[in-house]
Structure 1
Amino acid sequence: MQTMTTVTRTRLLAIDNLRVALTALVVAHHVAVTYGNIPMWYYTEPAQDPSGAVLDILVVFNQAFFMGFFFLISGFFTPGSHDRKGGRAFVRDRLVRLGVPLLVFLLVLRPLVTLGDHGIPYWKFYLASWDPGPMWFVEVLIVFALLYAWWRRLGRSDGQGAGGALTLKGVVLFTAGLAAVTVLWRIPVPQGTYVPVLGLPTPYFLPQYAAMFVAGLAAFRRGWFEALPRRAGTAGFVATGVASLVLLPLSGMTTGLVSSAVMALWESVVAVGMIVGLAVLFRERFDRQGPRGRFLSEHAYAVYVIHPLVLVAVAWAVKGLHAAAIVKFVLVLALSLPLCWALAYAVRSLPGARRVL
């Protein structure tokens, strides 16, 4: 009995700590976009020095795996939630926990981060640029959750009771299959595609997001998180490094469908490698929480929702500072992270806020 309690505690605390780290990475990602050369944020200062290229590399590398990891973690917690609550209560809970923050962002927070000189009346700009920003993740997650509830309602199995071991062959086949599907998907949905109104900034990554959500479902049912051997973590990081050294230069030397295929393979290897590597690392090294860890974990979702407001405010505050892009990135990140969690604490202290955040 003692062993079972320890395993459950370790699993949940390690994953909670992973969520905190990934949330901080989201903040870092958007600060990097602010000062790099990829103008896809509410406020940007395009880099005027070579250090901006370093931020661009960080953005591209993060994009290859971190949102896929979020979907995997979301998938991991989905079956247990459905089992405990039942189908109707599960759907109602998902709509509240995901839908309410989405609406609050759209109606309250987004106007605060998009105010500026647009050359047209703001109401017209607001309606013409309807966009959920980083809350696109919540949009997609609502769809995945509803599809899962529908699947269960049909009486279909999600792997419950299955105990298939996670093998190296299975991981390799999954990675290769993900790369192949991604290449085919990007023929009609090429890199750089943006979906207006829905606000999907990376629809060309949808195969990865869906695959990782399903992998999370399987990981929960089959105990893969606990069963991953330590050497799998090392192998994941090594595969990421080797793929980056070999495939990234190759993608730059090719064009067309070949370049797309090489890039898709690199992204798939990095996604699987980093997810496996970080999952093992956090399970083995970061499986405990003190008061500070619990605070960070409890407020991570709120941080994800409100962080654009903090980042834009801090970036505006240091707008007059003339420094290298990497210097402003470090400064704004160092200021923004504690401010994000402080604001999240204030928001969650409002009546009824903890019900949804």
Structure 2
Amino acid sequence: MRRTAGPAHPQQPGLDMLRGLCTLLVVLHHAAITYGAIGGWYYREVATSPRLDVQLLVFFCTVNQAWFMGLFFLLAGYFTPPALARKGLFDFVRGRLLRLGLPLPVYGTLIGPATIALAATARGKPWGETFLTLLQHNTFENGPLWFAQALLLMTGAALAWWWGRGRLPGPAAGPWQPDARPWPRRRTLLLAALATGATAWLLRQAWPVGVNVWGLQLGYFASYALLFGVGCRAARSAWLERLPGTELRFWWRLALCCLPVLPLLYGLGARWPELRSAILPVAYAFWEPLVAWGILLRLLQAFGPGWRPTRRWQTDLSRRAFAIYVIHPPVLVAVALAGAGVGAAPLLKWAVTGSLSCLLCFVLAGWLLRAPWLARLL
């Protein structure tokens, strides 16, 4: 989630808007976990259950998980080569360490523990006492800033790869000029999806979904790493500027066809538990990229080179995206706790809490960015 004072790419401001909208989706995703969806979050008011509205939230999060964080890695990779070519290695690395490396420890040592303490008040524990205890134990909670942690690692790996091959972009090479490599063939994308699914399944044998290693769920990193690399390659070949309509339609239709497969298998697993334990994990690993490819391509088309902001809030959202991403956990937890005593269906509480949290994060991010030193970081 790269931040700039203006559009991240002068010809594609739509990508900044897309990133901003997906940041709000992250807020809604975590709100859904609060009210019954599957996943890790600081505060859960409703347990996962078979009731229909809760299962709708489960499906909402499952579909999101297939593509939305992958989109952030894809866009991060897409902006890496031209930024490196424009700034040079030293300024590029310094900027990455400042804008990713600094927010990570600030969140991990202060905001994360503060959010844990806030959620603990639902169990009758005083916020101040819990927060001080966490600080005394040197608690580090990376929370959603795992993305910054992973992006630093991937960027470092990309720099080492280019340097080893003698292809490190830089100002000495002249103005950034993408090459003319053709768009990948359908067979290549299909093989990439199958390879991603197989790799994800293998990773989950060692690190099942929900298991963290240094704050990272490695079971999802097959698609994250691939999409970051694809983003770097897309920048070098201007693929996002020339998305082929035929392939877009094919992958979008395939994604729509695949969407109901996982809920169907899950429903059958309720009747035959052996099916759920044996087949569902494999199906889930392959289902994710087949759904993700279509959604990603459709969104990249919708917010492609021809998109231009028509409202002030669109420009503001693009600028505030990373700030919203960083501050949304304590805001969402606070809003959910404020409404904990309200008796309403989980789906309704999700809609109200999620929407209000998005609005508050948008406003608060605007206030924070008025401070010049924060604007340089966020």
Q: Settle same-fold status: TM greater than 0.5.
A: yes
Q: Give the corresponding residue for 1:4.
A: none
Shift of 1:145: 1.2
Secondary structure of the residue that 1:299 maps to in structure 2? helix
Q: Give the corresponding residue for 2:280.
A: 259
Pairing 1:72-221 to 2, within 5 Å after superposition? 72-115=74-117, 116=120, 117=124, 122-126=131-135, 127=137, 130-157=140-167, 161=179, 163-195=181-213, 198-200=214-216, 202-221=217-236
Say if 1:158 and 1:322 are closer, same or farther in 2 by CA, change over 3 A.
farther
2:351 to 325, 330, 346: 330
- Residue identity in the other structure for 2:143: G
Shift of 1:281: 2.0
Q: Give the corresponding residue for 1:20.
A: 20
Q: Give the corresponding residue for 2:250.
A: 235
- Residue identity in the other structure for 2:30: H
Does the 8 A contact of 2:323 with 2:365 survive in 1? yes
Q: How many residues align?
A: 346
Does the 8 A contact of 2:113 with 2:139 survive in 1? no
Q: Using the alignment, how far apart are the partners of 2:233 and 2:361 within structure 1? A: 33
Shift of 1:280: 1.2
Moved more, 106-115 or 68-77: 106-115
Say if 1:164 and 1:25 are closer, same or farther in 2 by CA, change over 3 A.
same
Shift of 1:122: 4.5
Does the 8 A contact of 2:196 with 2:222 survive in 1? yes
Matched, 1:46 2:61: no
Secondary structure of the residue that 1:217 maps to in structure 2? helix
Q: Using the alignment, how far apart are the partners of 1:123 and 1:297 within structure 2? A: 35
Q: Using the alignment, how far apart are the partners of 1:112 and 1:250 within structure 2? A: 40
- Residue identity in the other structure for 1:133: G
Q: Using the alignment, how far apart are the partners of 2:152 and 2:336 within structure 1? A: 31
Shift of 1:259: 3.2
Shift of 1:125: 4.0
Secondary structure of the residue that 2:41 maps to in structure 1? coil
Secondary structure of the residue that 1:211 maps to in structure 2? helix
Say if 1:39 and 1:224 are closer, same or farther in 2 by CA, change over 3 A.
closer
Give unpaired runs (5+ residues) of structure 1.
1-7
Moved more, 18-27 or 177-186: 177-186
Shift of 1:297: 0.3
Q: Using the alignment, how far apart are the partners of 1:121 and 1:353 within structure 2? A: 27
Shift of 1:261: 2.2
Q: Using the alignment, how far apart are the partners of 1:331 and 1:121 within structure 2? A: 28
Q: Using the alignment, how far apart are the partners of 1:9 and 1:39 within structure 2? A: 37
What TM-score does the superposition give when structure 2 sets the normalisation length?
0.84
Secondary structure of the residue that 2:105 maps to in structure 1? helix
Secondary structure of the residue that 1:352 maps to in structure 2? helix
Does the 8 A contact of 1:68 with 1:212 survive in 2? yes
Q: Give the corresponding residue for 2:34.
A: 34
Moved more, 330-339 or 208-217: 330-339
Q: Using the alignment, how far apart are the partners of 1:229 and 1:161 within structure 2? A: 17
Does the 8 A contact of 1:96 with 1:356 survive in 2? yes
Say if 1:39 and 1:211 are closer, same or farther in 2 by CA, change over 3 A.
closer
Secondary structure of the residue that 2:206 maps to in structure 1? coil
Say if 1:128 and 1:238 are closer, same or farther in 2 by CA, change over 3 A.
farther
Moved more, 331-340 or 288-297: 288-297
Q: Using the alignment, how far apart are the partners of 2:278 and 2:89 within structure 1? A: 43
Say if 1:354 and 1:263 are closer, same or farther in 2 by CA, change over 3 A.
same
Q: Using the alignment, how far apart are the partners of 2:297 and 2:55 within structure 1? A: 28
Does the 8 A contact of 2:39 with 2:210 survive in 1? no
- % identical equivalent positions: 33
